[in-house]
Amino acid sequence: MTRASRETIYYIGGNKGGVAKSWVSYLLVDYVFTQFPSTPIILFETDSSGYDVGVCYRKRKDNDDFNAKYERVRVVGVDLATFKGWKKMFDLIREHPECVAVINSAAASINVIKENGSFFDGAKEEYGFDLTTFWLLNTEQYGIRALVDFLASIKTSTVHVVKNLYFGDPDDFTEFDTSPKIQQEIAARSGLVLEFPVLEKTVARDLRLAALPIDEARKNMELLSRTCLDRWRSRFKKMVEQVVAGVVNVEKPVKSNKKESPEQG
pLDDT digits (tens, 9 = 90+) for 92-116: 999 998 899 999 998 878 899 999 9
pLDDT value at position 4?
Answer: 42
pLDDT category, 254, cuts 50, 70, 90?
Answer: low
- Element containing residue 196 per DSSP (H, E): strand 193-196
pLDDT category, 253, cuts 50, 70, 90?
Answer: low
Is it the case that residue 250 has pLDDT exceeding 50?
no
CA distance 141 to 131: 25
Is it the case that residue 265 has pLDDT exceeding 50?
no
**pTM of the predicted model as reported, rounded to 2 decimal places:** 0.89
pLDDT value at position 18?
Answer: 84
Contacts with 101 (C-beta within 8 Å, 6 or more apart), sequence order: 8, 9, 10, 41, 42, 44, 89, 92, 93
Task: Look at residues 234, 238, 221, 228 and name the one whose alpha carbon lies nearest to residue 264.
Answer: 228
Domains of the chain: 8-247 (3.40.50.300)
Is it the case that residue 3 has pLDDT exceeding 90?
no
Contacts with 49 (C-beta within 8 Å, 6 or more apart), sequence order: 106
Average pLDDT of span 165-184: 95
Average pLDDT of span 248-256: 49
CA torsion 198→132→81→59, rounded to 10°? 60
pLDDT digits (tens, 9 = 90+) for 230-249: 999 999 999 999 987 644 44
Return the number of other C-beta atoms located less than 10 Å from residue 219's C-beta.
10
pLDDT value at position 252?
Answer: 52
Q: Say if residues 164 and 20 touch (Cβ distance below 8 Å).
A: yes
Chain mean position to CA 209: 20
Average pLDDT of span 150-162: 95
pLDDT value at position 213?
Answer: 97
pLDDT category, 16, cuts 50, 70, 90?
Answer: confident
Percent of the chain with pLDDT over 70: 89
pLDDT category, 47, cuts 50, 70, 90?
Answer: confident
Type of residue numbered 79: D
Q: What is the DSSP letter of 34?
A: H
Type of residue numbered 22: S
